[in-house]
Structure 1
Amino acid sequence: MPLPTDLIPPQAVNLAVRAVYALPAPVRRLIAGRQVSRDGQRLAPEAQLLLALMKLENTGLRDERVDLARRRLERGQRLIQGRPVGAGSTRALTVPNGDHPIPARLYTPAGLPSGSPLLVYYHGGGFVLGSIDSHDSLCRELAVTAAVRVLSVGYRLAPEHPFPAAADDALAAYEYAVKNAESFGADPGAVAVGGDSAGGNLAAVVGRTAEPAPAFALLFYPATDLSGHRRSRELFAEGFYLTDPDMTWFSDHYIPQERRTEPNASPLLADDLGGFPPTYLATAGFDPLRDEGEEFAHRLADAGVPVVLRRHEDLIHGFANMGALGGRFAEAVSEAAGALRMGLAMARPAGPSGLDDPA
C-alpha cells in the first residue's frame, strides 16, 4: 500500500528541499515563520525551516502500522540527504550471534592506516525504526571527519524482537568488533561505541557492561530512562519532530512496563557507572530527551568518568542525521566527530574527570 507522499519521487523532494535551503536567509526565515523560543532557548532557523517542511511531507514517526512508519522514516532520510561523503570503501558483514546473525556495514576512509581506531555505531529509531541505510550518511561523515573505521550495526527491531534483543545484539556486535579489529585493520585497544537516540541507549548499555570496556563513547541525545518522564518531555511534547506520544509508542513496542527500570533498558538507573568509558554526550535544546541525557552525563561525572556534555540549545532531536542540510546541523555533527577523534587519541592515557556543562 503506497503512502500518499510516495507518489512524489524522493529525489524530486530532495531537490526541492535543498533548493529551499539555498535561498537567501531572509527568504528562509519568511518560510519558517516567526522565531520559536522556549525555556530560554531560540530555535535555529535551519531547524525551524525543516519542521515547516516536515509538516508538508507528513513525516511523523509513528503509525498504526509499523511497516509504514519504517518506510516513512527511510523516505524522510532520503529527502534531506546530500551527496554521499566518499568514505573510501564500504563492506557488508554479518556478525555471528547464535540463531540471530546481525547485518553490519564497515566504513573504511581512504588512506586510513592500519591500527587506527574503530567506532561501533548503533542507529536511532526508537528500537522500532531505522536501519544501516537510514544512517549511512552519518556513518560516512563520522568515518571521514574523525578518521576512524565505523562498523554500523543492524540490530534486531521491536516489536518483532522486543527487549532485550537489541541490547543483546549491540553487545555481541561490540565483542565481535574487538575480537576482529585487527582483521578490519583497526586497533583492538581503540574500539569506541556510539549511537543516537535509541542507538545512544544501546551504546550506553554496552559502555556499562562490556569487557573490555570501550575506549570512548559518542552519544547523541540518548534515551537513558524508559521508565519515567522529565521536564523536557513535557516542554517539548509536541511540534519538534520527536514527540512525547512517539516516545510512548516506541517504548510500548520495545519493552513491557515492568522491565523498564532494568539497567540494560534504562542505563541512567544503574547503581554504578564508574567503569564507563570517557564520553562526549550531545543533547538538543528542543528535545523531549534532553533532560535524561544530561542527567546521565552528570551521573557519569559524579562517578569520576571524563565526560563532555554539549547542549546544542537551538537544535531538535535527530540533528545528527540532518548534517547534509548544512548550517547548525553540519556544525554539530562536525563538532561531535572532532570530539570522537580527540577522545580516541586521549582515551588510553588516564585523564581528569569532570564535566563541561552546557550552562
Structure 2
Amino acid sequence: MSRATSIDLSVLDRAQRGLFKTLGLVPAAVLGVGARVTEVNSDGERLAPEMALVGLATARVPGKALTGPAPEIARRNLDATAVSLAQEFPPFAVEEDLTFDGPGGPVGATRYRAAEGVPKGLILFFHGGGFVVGSRASHDSAVRSLAIESGADVLSIDYRLAPEHRFPAAVDDCLAAWRFAVEQAPGWGIDPAWIVVAGDSAGGNLATVVASETRGEPVVPRFQLLIYPVTDMTGGTASRAEFADGHFLTRADLDYFTEHYLNSPADAADPKASPLLADDLRGLPPAYVVVAGFDPLRDEGIAYAEAMRSAGVPVTLERAGALIHGFLNMALISPDARAYLARMGAAVADALD
C-alpha cells in the first residue's frame, strides 16, 4: 500500500464520499433524461448532468474551488475532494513509493502494476493542477484505471509545485523522472523503448515538453497521452472566454495558476511553458489528445493536436463533448468519464502492441 497516496478524510469528506458513491449508482439512462435540460455549448454539445452538478458545487460550496488564497490549503482541499471521488479497485500486484534525485532534491514517485505478469510497458504520468496543486494522491484513482485498462505499469510523479518552485522547476523534475524511468525500466521487466509519457492539464503540458526535449536522445517516448493539456499560456482562445465560469476550471483559476507558476509574463512565450508556440514539432512521438467540450483549455488542446499533425506527427484527437475539465478524476460519478478512461487505456495498449 502506498503511504504517499493515502489521505485520511474528515467526517465531512467521508459524508461527501457517500453522496458521490450514491450519485455513481444513478443509471446512465436516468442521467440521459437529465441531459435534456442542461447547457448546450456553441458547438452544439450538451453538458452531462453530473458535470453540471460538479460545476455548481465548485462555484457554490466552500472549499471546492480549485484555487484559494493559500496554495497549501487549495492542495489539501483538492486531495480530499479527489479521494472522495476515487473509484474502488482490487489489490494491485505492485504499489510502491519511490524517490529519485531531481535537480532540486529528492522527487517522490509511486509505481503501480495492476496484475501479476509482464506489463506491456510503462506510463510515466504527470498529474494536473495548474503547476500549483495536485499530487500523486489526487490522481491515484485515475492512474489505477489507466494501469488496468492499458496493461502497463504506471509511474506517477510528484514534481515540484509553484509558487515555491516556479517555472521551469516542474519541467526539470519531469525530465529527471524520464531519465529515472529509462534507467529503472529494465529492472521492472520493461524495455525502455516502451515508455509512454502522459498527463492531464498541467501534466499534459509537462508530458509533451518531455517528449519535445528528449528528441534525438538514444531512448525517446513511444507515445504521448495528453489529456486536456495546457499548451498556450498566453491565452486568448474562444473556449477560454466561453467557459470562463461555472465549469470547474475558471478564468480566475487559470490566471491564478499562471501568475503563481511563471516568473514573469514573458515566460509564457517559452515553448517549455507553451508548447503550441514551438517553432518545430517534427519528430514527436505519436499522440492521443483528449479534450473536453466544456473546458476553457479545449481549443488549445485541439490546436496543439492540429499543429502536431501538420508537422507529420500521427495524432488521434478525442473530443469528450459532454464533459468538463478534470473529468479524469470524476469517473466514480460519470459513466462517460469511465468510458473515456477505458479508451485512453486502450489507446496506450495499442501503441505498446
TM-score, length-scaled by structure 1:
0.89
Aligned pair count?
A: 339
1:157 matches 2:164: no
Aligned-pair identity in percent equals 41
Deviations 1:47-92 (A, max 9, x none): 1233344455431111111111111111111221121353322111
RMSD: 2.0
1:112 matches 2:117: yes
In structure 2, which of residues 6, 11, 14 is the aligned counterpart of residue 11 of structure 1? 14
In structure 2, which of residues 312, 318, 337 is the aligned counterpart of residue 329 of structure 1? 337
Could you tell me how far apart the structure 1 residues matched to 2:14 and 2:53 are?
Answer: 19
3-state SS, counterpart of residue 19 of structure 1: helix
Distance 1:30 1:189, change over 3 A: closer
Given that 2:186 and 2:192 are in contact with CA atoms closer than 8 Å, whether structure 1 keeps it comes out as yes
**Equivalent residues in 2 for 1:6-45 (5 A)?**
8-23=11-26, 34-39=37-42, 40-45=44-49
User: Which segment is superposed worse, 283-292 or 53-62?
Assistant: 53-62
Could you tell me how far apart the structure 1 residues matched to 2:30 and 2:352 are?
Answer: 42
1:318 matches 2:321: no
Could you tell me how far apart the structure 1 residues matched to 2:197 and 2:117 are?
Answer: 19
In structure 2, which of residues 227, 243, 251 is the aligned counterpart of residue 244 of structure 1? 251
Q: Which amino acid aligns with 2:100?
A: V
Superposed displacement of residue 30, structure 1:
8.6
Tell me which of the two structures has the higher relative contact order, counting C-alpha pairs closer than 8 angstroms and 6 or more residues apart: 2
Given that 1:81 and 1:325 are in contact with CA atoms closer than 8 Å, whether structure 2 keeps it comes out as no
In structure 2, which of residues 168, 189, 192 is the aligned counterpart of residue 185 of structure 1? 189
Superposed displacement of residue 99, structure 1:
4.2
In structure 2, which of residues 231, 249, 260 is the aligned counterpart of residue 224 of structure 1? 231
Structure 1 residue aligned with 2:5: none
User: Which segment is superposed worse, 144-153 or 72-81?
Assistant: 72-81
Could you tell me how far apart the structure 2 residues matched to 1:146 and 1:277 are?
Answer: 18
Superposed displacement of residue 111, structure 1:
1.9
Q: Which amino acid aligns with 2:226?
A: L
Deviations 1:82-124 (A, max 9, x none): 213533221111121244211000111212316x311100000
Distance 1:257 1:338, change over 3 A: same
**Equivalent residues in 2 for 1:35-184 (5 A)?**
35-39=38-42, 40-55=44-59, 57-58=61-62, 59-113=64-118, 116-184=120-188
Deviations 1:223-247 (A, max 9, x none): 0011222010001000000011100
Unaligned ranges ≥5, structure 2: 1-8
Could you tell me how far apart the structure 1 residues matched to 2:196 and 2:186 are?
Answer: 14
Unaligned ranges ≥5, structure 1: 1-5, 346-359
Deviations 1:137-159 (A, max 9, x none): 11111111100011101000000
Given that 1:85 and 1:137 are in contact with CA atoms closer than 8 Å, whether structure 2 keeps it comes out as no
Distance 1:145 1:87, change over 3 A: farther
